[in-house]
Homo-oligomer: A and B are copies of this chain.
Amino acid sequence: MSEIAEVIIKMEVAALERWNNGDPSGFLDISDEDVVYFDPMTELRIDGLKNLTALYESIRGKIFVDRYKMLNPKVQSLDRMAVLTYNLESYIENKVIKWNCTEVYQLAKDNKWRIIQTHWSLTKAVEAL
């Protein structure tokens, strides 16, 4: 695995583990001011860290995931951008929720990677309809 891939996956795992303990700040801390965001609850794309923060603060302390599996993470990187994709299984009590995830990271001017795009969706949502 490339060095960039290792760095990106490590950042994502750290943010995810905080998320699974009710703390959205792991993701907020590494998201860019100009981040864009999709999840299966939003009516439209959410633009900007300010709006994403408002959404995440509304669910702080409300989501707890017992354990998770990050499946087959892949990083496609070029120059100062890196695209991380993976499938995720989140186990909450006896239930598993399966996710598709795309994160685009950008190497900012301060030489830190930050998320500029997040897309969460439910795996096989069509079957669930």
A residues touching B (Cβ–Cβ < 8 Å)? 34, 36, 38, 40-45, 47, 71-72, 74, 76, 78-81, 83, 85-87, 100, 102, 104, 106, 116-117, 119, 121-129
A125 touches B122 (CB 8 A): yes
Query: A79 — nearest CB in chain B belongs to which residue?
Result: B79
Given A47-B74, A71-B44, A119-B119, the answer on whether A104 and B83 have CB atoms closer than 8 Å is: yes
Instruction: Give the distance in Å from the alpha carbon of A104 to the alpha carbon of B117 in the complex.
Output: 10
Residues on B with beta carbons closer than 8 Å to the beta carbon of A123: 40, 42-44
Shortest CB distance A1–B (Å)? 15
Which residue from B71, B78, B79, B122 sits with its C-beta under 8 Å from A121?
A: B122
Q: How far is the CA of A19 from the CA of B125 in the complex (A)?
A: 21
State how many angstroms separate the Cβ of A109 from the closest Cβ of chain B.
Answer: 11
